């Protein structure tokens, strides 16, 4: 059974810092990995999708990497801003068209 | 347009009520999903529709009944729910199997 773990569970940083969020998964048989952002009480906003054959994806200040063989992904956020404060969820796409989510990292960027 | 629209945004229902949640997307996506998210927990898959056919039911109780009237619409019919069913219900869609998923803003359901 696929399990996804996100570290740290919570993170508080001053504005302007670069930061890394970590995601690990137990079964390397994945189709893709997707990073989402969720604001309190809201839905999920897709940030980046990495296909299983890819190593990296970038969008603006965000960069996500994937090492499928070791079961790890990182989300790098450059020059963090207070508006980046949210919960960040990592999810792996597995057989059966399912997304298996990690518990998330709660990020707070202080101004 | 990468929008998935869910209605209503909030719903309070009694345990004897029947209600429906609605989800709509106009991106031409062929896969649609229902997820349930309890407070401070990650979303959990309930149902998957692929090309308007139910492809996955994650052992969801029969008091939840999904329906896909056409490729743009997904409903979740609710009947005789329990207070523990209170949660954020999220709809998602993707172009095909295992491609990028887009989520709606969710329906906050409270069962009293």
Q: Which of A31, A93, A97 sits opposite B56 (nearest CB)?
A: A97
CA-based nearest residue in chain A for residue B49: A97
pLDDT tens digits, one per residue of B13-68 = 999 999 999 999 999 999 999 999 999 999 999 999 999 999 999 999 999 999 99
A55 pLDDT above the threshold of 70: yes
pLDDT given at position B1: 61
As a whole number of angstroms, the distance between CA A81 and CA A100 comes to: 28
pLDDT tens digits, one per residue of B54-112 = 999 999 999 999 999 999 999 999 999 999 999 999 999 999 877 899 999 999 999 99
pLDDT given at position B108: 97
- The CB density around residue A88, as the number of other CB atoms within 10 Å, is 22
Q: Which two tokens stand for residue B10?
A: 């909030």
Max CA separation in chain A (angstroms): 43
pLDDT given at position B96: 80
Query: A79 CA to chain B: closest CA distance, Å?
Result: 26
Q: What mean pLDDT is predicted for residues A20-24?
A: 98
CA-based nearest residue in chain A for residue B90: A43
Confidence band (pLDDT; 50, 70, 90) for A2?
A: very high
């Amino acid at each position: 059974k696929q399990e996804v773990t996100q570290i740290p569970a919570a993170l508080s940083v001053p504005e302007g810092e670069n930061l890394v969020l970590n995601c690990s998964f137990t079964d390397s048989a994945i189709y893709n990995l997707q990073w989402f952002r969720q604001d309190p009480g809201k839905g999920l906003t897709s940030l980046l999708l990495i296909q299983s054959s890819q190593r990296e994806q970038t969008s603006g200040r965000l960069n996500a990497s994937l090492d499928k063989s070791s079961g790890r992904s990182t989300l790098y956020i450059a020059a963090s801003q207070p508006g980046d404060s949210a919960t960040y969820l990592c999810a792996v796409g597995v057989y059966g068209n399912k997304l298996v989510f990690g518990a998330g990292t709660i990020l707070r960027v202080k101004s | 347009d990468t929008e998935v629209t869910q209605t209503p945004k909030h719903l309070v229902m009694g345990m004897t009520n029947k209600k429906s949640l609605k989800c709509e997307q106009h991106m031409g996506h062929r896969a649609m999903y229902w997820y349930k998210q309890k407070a401070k927990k990650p979303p959990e898959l309930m149902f998957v529709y692929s090309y308007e056919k139910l492809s996955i039911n994650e052992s969801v109780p029969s008091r939840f009944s999904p329906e896909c009237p056409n490729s743009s619409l997904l409903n979740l019919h609710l009947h005789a729910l329990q207070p523990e069913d209170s949660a954020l219900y999220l709809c998602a869609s993707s172009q095909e199997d295992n491609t990028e998923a887009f989520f709606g803003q969710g329906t906050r359901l409270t069962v009293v």
